Amino acid sequence: MRIKKLWIGTLSLVLFAISCGEDTSKQQEEYETIFKDVLNVHDKLMVRMTDIYEYSKKLDKIADTSAAPEPYVNAKERLTTADSDMMNWMEHFGDDFVKNKSAIKKMNSQQLESQIADLKSELKDVQDMQTEMTASLTNAEKLIQ
């Protein structure tokens, strides 16, 4: 009888603990969606990284033979900045989000909300970087033609 009461008491505590746990599945889903959005923009930018290198070489050649090299030098500097910004962003994103991604499943609701806000900021940053990189590449393409 005593074992039965102990077992029922233990089972009650376990069920109570389970029922008190937070359901963070929707927040985890939101985090995953935003994370994928960030990676999609990143992947589009990575494809263009080769163009940055190629256009930079072409701009150097044109600037070396031009009587007015300033626009070509400026365009190359803009491409170099876009490349550097991308590399710095990837390092930061990898350190802050990719390495710690597995911890998301263990976070409570408040921690997840903070991570989601940070990730939304990263999405804006990578979108801004995409805008600047696209403008830099478009500018370089026009000058090269």
**Would you say residue 15 has pLDDT above 50?**
no
Task: Tell whether 8 is covered by a domain.
Answer: no
Task: Tell whether 1 is covered by a domain.
Answer: no
**Would you say residue 11 has pLDDT above 60?**
no
Which residue type, as a one-letter code, is found at position 113?
A: E
The residue among 71, 58, 65, 83 whose CA lies nearest residue 139 is 71
Expressed as residue numbers, the domain containing 97 is 24-144
Task: Tell whether 4 is covered by a domain.
Answer: no
Enclosing H/E stretch for 20: helix 2-20
Task: Tell whether 76 is covered by a domain.
Answer: yes
Distance set, CA 73 to CA 4, 54, 62, 129, 135 (Å):
83, 14, 9, 21, 16
Residue in the block written with tokens 């990143």: 42
Task: Tell whether 101 is covered by a domain.
Answer: yes
Task: Tell whether 19 is covered by a domain.
Answer: no
Domain count for the chain: 1
pLDDT digits (tens, 9 = 90+) for 108-141: 989 999 999 999 999 999 999 999 999 999 999 9
pLDDT digits (tens, 9 = 90+) for 32-77: 999 999 999 999 999 999 999 999 999 999 999 999 999 999 999 9
Q: Which pLDDT does position 68 carry in this prediction?
A: 93
Q: Count Cβ atoms within 10 A of the Cβ of residue 131 and give its class: 0-12 exposed, 13-18 middle, 19 or more buried.
A: exposed
Which residue type, as a one-letter code, is found at position 13?
A: L
Task: Tell whether 130 is covered by a domain.
Answer: yes
**Would you say residue 3 has pLDDT above 90?**
no
The answer to whether the CB of 56 falls within 8 A of the CB of 80 is yes
Task: Tell whether 14 is covered by a domain.
Answer: no
Instruction: Please list, residue by residue across 96-122, b when 16 or more beta carbons sit within 10 angstroms of its beta carbon and e when fewer do.
Output: ebeeeeeebeebeeeebeebbeebeeb
